[in-house]
Amino acid sequence: IMRKEILVTPNNIVTECNSAEPELTYTFSPNLIGNDSFFGSLTRESGNEPGNYKILQGTLALSNNYLLTFKEGTFSIIDNAPVWITKAAELDRIVEYDNTAELTAAQSLVPVAIDVCDNGQLKIQKETGKFEPNLNCEYTGKYINTWTVTDSRGNRNVYTQTITVADRTAPVVEV
C-alpha cells in the first residue's frame, strides 16, 4: 500500500513585539481519509526581538498511512512607530496676548507616547515653533510646536500643538 502524500503549509504570521504569542496554524492538501487527523503542533525558532523566524514542523505528524511534506513558514515580529497617548489637539490652547503665565503654562505642556517594543525607552524632542503674528495685529497669532518621539530602532511619530495668542477683550466703542 502506498502512503498518501500530504503537503502542510504553515500560515505566515506578523505580530508586534511584546504582543501575546499567536497560535501557529497551517493548511494542508489534499484532504485526509475518513476521520484521520493530525496530532502534535508546530513550533517556531526562538526569539522575541523584531525580525523573521522560521515556523517549523515541531511535533506535527500523521499516522504511518501518510507521507507528510512540510513547507517552512515565517513568523515576523515587527516594531511599529511609537503611538501618542495624548489625543490630537488635546494640548492646543488659546491664551490672552498679555498673559505670559498662561503662555508659559501652554508652552510647558508635553504629550505622552508609548511603544510596546521599547518599554519606555523613548526619546521625545520638542521643537518650539516661532511666533507667527496675525496680519492685522502683531500681538496676536500662533505658535505651532512639534514633538518627535523616536524609539530605539529609529521609528518616529510627530505630535503638533497649536497655541493661539488672542485678544479676547471686546473693544470699547465710544459714541
163 bridge partner residues: 93, 143
Separation between Cα atoms, residue 79 and residue 120, nearest integer Å = 14
> What percent of the chain has pLDDT above 70?
95
pLDDT tens by residue, 82-117: 999 999 999 999 999 999 999 999 999 999 999 888
DSSP, res 99: -
C-alpha distances (whole Å) from 20 to each of 14, 55, 116 are 12, 17, 11
Name the pLDDT band for 11 (thresholds 50, 70, 90): very high
pLDDT tens by residue, 41-87: 999 999 988 999 999 999 999 999 999 999 999 999 999 999 999 99
Is the pTM higher than 0.75? The answer reads no
- Confidence check: pLDDT of 24 > 70: yes
Q: Which residues contact 73 (CB under 8 A, 6 or more apart)?
A: 9, 10, 11, 12, 13, 26, 54, 55
Q: Which is nearest to 118 in space by CA: 52, 47, 50? A: 50
